[in-house]
A = this chain, B = another copy of it.
Amino acid sequence: EHVSLFHEGAEQYAMDMTSVPSKNVQEIAQKTMEQGLFAPCMVGTLESQFLKMQVSLAKARTCLDVGTFTGMSAMAMAEGTSDNGHVVTLEFDDKIADVAEASFKTSPVGHKIQLVRGSALSSMEKMLANGDTFDVIFLDADKENYINYYNLAMSGLLSENGFILADNSLCSLLYDSDDARSQKLHEFNQHVKNDERVEQIVLTMREGVTIIKPLK
């Protein structure tokens, strides 16, 4: 059963009045259903439109997608970047990575997306050592590591005007309070709130999305 932050109808009405997702994004949703993968993992069509528009309004060129699943967030961000933009997306489950890669291959923005397999933490550490930077870093993998991902972003993976988007930040209200993820997400929220290097807003959209921006 779907637990929600909203009174009935609010989210559905917002979706109805929002742009219809691209064919690429719709196909990913369909494939995820067909293959019997756990669909609630997907960012969904409302949030994918949000990601695309945030990337595009900020004129972001490089994006890091932490937690690929079947590829919806990577696809949406690729659609939002400029023509010479690119998205690196991280996934440690090979079977799921195969599904995502198949979708990227048949999409007109697929050439912008690079999927990196393996642990997100070690991939990020390698990129940091390599001097890679990103204009947008989207956190959506294992909740237990959000603080680690955040710290890596703040240690140099984020470009000068870059910002972080963290998914599920209101899930501490949605999961059972004895669910470890609930506690981990609350700790993450407090970690960000107490970090004087940044400003942030927790958006009450879907399961909560936090936008975090280093202060100048």
Contacts and interface: CB of A to CB of B under 8 A. Distances in A.
B57 A54 contact: yes
A53 B201 contact: yes
A161 to B, nearest CB: 7
Nearest to A161: B59
A154 to B, nearest CB: 16
A4, A173, A190: most-surrounded residue (chain B CB, <10 A) = A173
What number of copies of this chain does the assembly contain? Answer: 2
Given A57-B57, A203-B203, A192 B17 contact: yes
Contact of A208 (B14, B193, B199, B206): B14
Interface string A1-21: 000111101110111111100
A201 B46 contact: yes
B14 A170 contact: yes
Contacts of A50: 201, 203
Contacts of A56: 213
Contacts of A70: none
Interface string A136-171: 000000000000000000000000010100000110
Number of contact residues on A: which range applies? 35 or more
A17 B204 contact: no
17 contacts: A6-B7, A10-B204, A13-B170, A13-B202, A14-B170, A14-B202, A14-B208, A17-B169, A17-B193, A17-B200, A17-B202, A19-B193, A19-B200, A46-B201, A57-B163, A59-B59, A59-B161
Given A57-B213, A203-B205, 11 more contacts: A6-B204, A9-B173, A13-B172, A14-B202, A17-B189, A17-B200, A18-B193, A18-B200, A49-B201, A56-B213, A58-B59
Interface of A: 4-7, 9-11, 13-19, 46, 49-50, 53-54, 56-59, 161, 163, 169-170, 172-173, 189-190, 192-193, 199-206, 208, 210-211, 213
